[in-house]
Structure 1
């Protein structure tokens, strides 16, 4: 019996890889916390994560909440997975739904503060929590989220690096989001600079090694 780290497991292999008693709760807690972190950034008023900038712009033109827009965009992106031959897992579908629900639920109970120090606290705390939440749901090893799968699929099909593809995608969605009236601010910059290092910092502690079955 051996172990594997961040393996590219198919949907059935993800469920057959054991340790579900820890992996499943970690997946869903991570996704909920991710949604909470986006709501914190939203209520700070200092800008959102790149994809959320796009979704916040989208809701200026359609009758959706931010959480509902996240869900709709997620499933549209999953359609783009088809020509890229990406295979969704339990974490993929869960990501598409739970994060959006958590955003709206948190926004409903978390007021937008007036004091600058509280706004800054929400911004910094939101970015930090997002890094932790990302490490948790990735470390549970139930598949990529809709946005990550688009990135990896495009990188594989174009032969470009993941870093380049991600950068181009995020610049594109921010520009489109801005044109739609999305929420861009210092929080967006902080997120872009910090989310990678934070996730890398916490990922080893939250990676669960599924059992590789012969």
Structure 2
């Protein structure tokens, strides 16, 4: 197997693992019932109102957000499309498989595992270098229009969090924990999981 083939295989495996882990960790946050990240709260709220599964809602939301990339002139990658199509099904499978925790200590463990796992999953799939997820791309697209990234991220996340809460999504201490820690956690994980092509060997 050539170097390029090995690198392609590694990227595919990491992308798949990252997206699967992301879906599982979203399910952990939902099962914990202590509050989740803004987009998961939004997904949960729409699911409460529509009766759709959270995975189906996430798929629909991802496609809509993906469409918003067009006026923002964002260019999707393979990872972007895979994120939009795959995380929702992984979420539904994980919700089906995971038992509902009873007792605050177990719920807290679900919450901590979900937050840490999402940071790891983000490092895995973004570190492949095939494009961010639809929601992350929306924020970077706003930044390209001149809006500071921190301001754009805050506006988007506060808006979806408020919308999700009004629709019946669960906001709680887990939401605060997620918003306070996910930036530093991803900042730690991403550089360590980013793949870079190896230098080609010089011919002799």
Calculate the TM-score normalised by the size of structure 2: 0.92
Shift of 1:210: 3.3
Q: 1:177 and 1:27 mapped to 2: Cα distance?
A: 28
Equivalences for 1:1-214 in 2 at 5 Å?
19-157=7-145, 159-210=146-197
Shift of 1:17: 10
Shift of 1:163: 1.1
Deviations 1:37-79 (A, max 9, x none): 1100110110111111111111122131111111000000111
Calculate the aligned-residue CA RMSD, in Å.
1.7
**Aligned pair in 2 of structure 1 residues 18, 80: CA closer, same or farther (>3 Å)?**
farther
What stretches of structure 1 move > 3 A for 4+ residues in a row? 210-213
**Aligned pair in 2 of structure 1 residues 177, 116: CA closer, same or farther (>3 Å)?**
same
Q: Where in structure 1 are there 5+ consecutive unaligned residues?
A: 1-15
Higher helix share: 2
Deviations 1:179-210 (A, max 9, x none): 11111111111111111111111112210013
Partner of 1:12 in structure 2? none
Work out whether residues 17 and 211 of structure 1, in 8 Å CA contact, stay in contact via their aligned partners in 2.
no
Partner of 1:4 in structure 2? none
